Structure 1
Amino acid sequence: MTGTARPDPHVRSGAGAARLVPGVSRLVIGTSLSGTILLALGAFWLSFTALRDLAVLAGIPETQAWVWPLIVDGVILEATISVVALRNQAASARRFAWLLLSAGAGVSVAANITHAVVAADARVPALIAALVACIPPLVLLAMTHLTVELLRNADTTSERDADPAATEQTAVALVATPARTGRAPAAIERAPRTRTGSDTRARAVALAADGVSQRQIAAELGVHPTTIGRWLSVPDQPAEGEAR
């Protein structure tokens, strides 16, 4: 069957293929990463000082109080590194990393709110103090998630830029479809029934045994009547594959 190759309408080749690969330019990624890192550092510092003060109020010596915010907010940082490192691994490992990240952020938010309620000025309502105090840990969590997404796009863009030939090859897809000419292909129309020489000879012998004339056998098998005569008169001779 003959066919024509046509491009897959859902796939583009050449320069259009690059637009199908998700990714962000390196300049945008670098600028965004710089901003998220600065915001994360600011949020971490505010949360660190609040948790350190809360540790002192809870009776931990000032010389050791700085360890408490490192433990709480350090879980957020370590879980973030794990999320990035495990993003291509098993789902169970990723879920555990996100669970640690969420738990660390939850403890940090609760501790910041507690510090605000305890240490806030009496003129400030407790609700307002709690809302202000919960912003730094939430920003830290949000910037962490945004950093992960930016790193994913950075990896995709790097792979695309490093191997443009592979992108070109994977983007071009040809789908073979039958030629639509309104009629059956000529190769099929002209295809005769073919048999091997031994099969044709055996068929001729069987028809002759049934009383069919040599002319009818020749017409049935598409060979000359004299060929049928030779096959029947010399049974042990190999059959001739062409009509005379």
Structure 2
Amino acid sequence: MTLPRVAMPSRNTVAVTLAAAAATAVAGTSFWRSFTAIAELAVAYKVPADQAWMIPVAVDGLVVVATVAAAIARRRVARSYSWFLLVAGTVASVAGNGIHAWQLTHSPIGVGIAVLPPLVTLAAVHLTILLARQGDEIATAPVLDIEPEPIRTPLDEGPKRDATPRPVTQLHVAPTTPVASVATPAAAPRQVRRVTTRKSDATDVELRARAIRCVVGEGKTIRATGAELGVSKDKVQRWVTAHRATLDAPPVAS
């Protein structure tokens, strides 16, 4: 019995996860420092203290959102617009941090230190996205596994076939030649014509005798007798009537 193997994370996956966590921590601390500087600058320029937090959230939040959009955008227009917003948000954040530091220190070094957090935030967020994407590629990469060699059994030990006879179904193949019944209607009229011609050759005396025998002797109907002999039923009726009148007439005395 083969037990299922548990997939363990590789070294690359662990390294990517740790790097992404560190980049997220750096981005968070840099965002907090830039947030504090821009919020104090907003309060200094007559923004209410309870609303000052909105300014850094809008500026630095735009940087984060634009960075994510630029990293995952596929279309050229969307990528270009994302980079435009990213540059604009970064410039605004750097300017806010630099102005705040200049007002406090009046030193170029203080300004340089103050503009580092927004730049670090931009770089850390972008790096985090790239590392996360690389981690997904590593996680979805195909794993080559060596399957065990299949066990081959001798031919004698294979599954036995069922020796029970199976019913055989006969397949009836349609004939390729035309059926003879197709030509039957064409031959029927010729046969009827021959019979009619043969009956018409007989004399009226013979037909009269046969008609009387069929109706009187055999009990056939006048219509059937006329159809059999090829004459009209009226003629058969006249023959039969004349015959019966002859039978009913009284004998003549000598």
TM-score, with structure 2 as normaliser: 0.50
Are the aligned partners of 1:24 and 1:153 in contact in 2 as well (CA < 8 Å)?
A: no
Are the aligned partners of 1:24 and 1:157 in contact in 2 as well (CA < 8 Å)?
A: no
Structure 1 gap ranges (5+): 1-22, 166-244
Report how far residue 49 of structure 1 moved.
0.4
Are the aligned partners of 2:98 and 2:114 in contact in 1 as well (CA < 8 Å)?
A: yes
Matched, 1:98 2:83: yes
Separation (CA, whole Å) in 2 of partners of 1:26 and 1:142: 21
**Structure with greater proportional strand content:** 1
Residue 25 of structure 1 aligns to a residue in which SS?
helix
**Could you say which structure has the greater relative contact order, defined with CA pairs below 8 angstroms and 6 or more residues apart?**
1
Name the residue aligned to 1:158: 139
Separation (CA, whole Å) in 2 of partners of 1:156 and 1:35: 20
- Cα deviation, 1:36-79, whole Å, max 9, x if unaligned, reads 01100000000000000000011101011111101100101211
Separation (CA, whole Å) in 1 of partners of 2:70 and 2:11: 20
Name the residue aligned to 1:139: 120
Name the residue aligned to 1:46: 33
- Cα deviation, 1:109-142, whole Å, max 9, x if unaligned, reads 011000001123xxxx520111110110110011
Q: Give the alignment partner of residue 55 of structure 1, picking from 28, 42, 48.
A: 42
Separation (CA, whole Å) in 1 of partners of 2:80 and 2:132: 18
Separation (CA, whole Å) in 2 of partners of 1:49 and 1:78: 19
Report how far residue 82 of structure 1 moved.
1.6
Q: Give the alignment partner of residue 113 of structure 1, picking from 82, 91, 98.
A: 98
Separation (CA, whole Å) in 2 of partners of 1:155 and 1:91: 23
Look up the equivalent residue of 2:20 and give its one-letter code: L
Look up the equivalent residue of 1:159 and give its one-letter code: T
Report how far residue 25 of structure 1 moved.
1.3
Name the residue aligned to 1:25: 12
Report how far residue 103 of structure 1 moved.
1.4
Residue 140 of structure 2 aligns to a residue in which SS?
helix
**RMSD of the alignment, in Å?**
1.9
Are the aligned partners of 1:29 and 1:150 in contact in 2 as well (CA < 8 Å)?
A: yes
Look up the equivalent residue of 1:47 and give its one-letter code: S
Residue 77 of structure 1 aligns to a residue in which SS?
helix
Report how far residue 92 of structure 1 moved.
2.1
Look up the equivalent residue of 1:34 and give its one-letter code: A
Separation (CA, whole Å) in 1 of partners of 2:65 and 2:110: 28
Separation (CA, whole Å) in 1 of partners of 2:24 and 2:53: 22
Distance 1:117 1:66, change over 3 A: same
Q: Which has the larger radius of gyration?
A: 2
Are the aligned partners of 2:71 and 2:130 in contact in 1 as well (CA < 8 Å)?
A: no
Separation (CA, whole Å) in 1 of partners of 2:11 and 2:108: 40
Report how far residue 150 of structure 1 moved.
0.9
Separation (CA, whole Å) in 1 of partners of 2:17 and 2:86: 24
- Cα deviation, 1:149-169, whole Å, max 9, x if unaligned, reads 2122112212214x658xxxx
Residue 46 of structure 2 aligns to a residue in which SS?
coil
Matched, 1:80 2:80: no
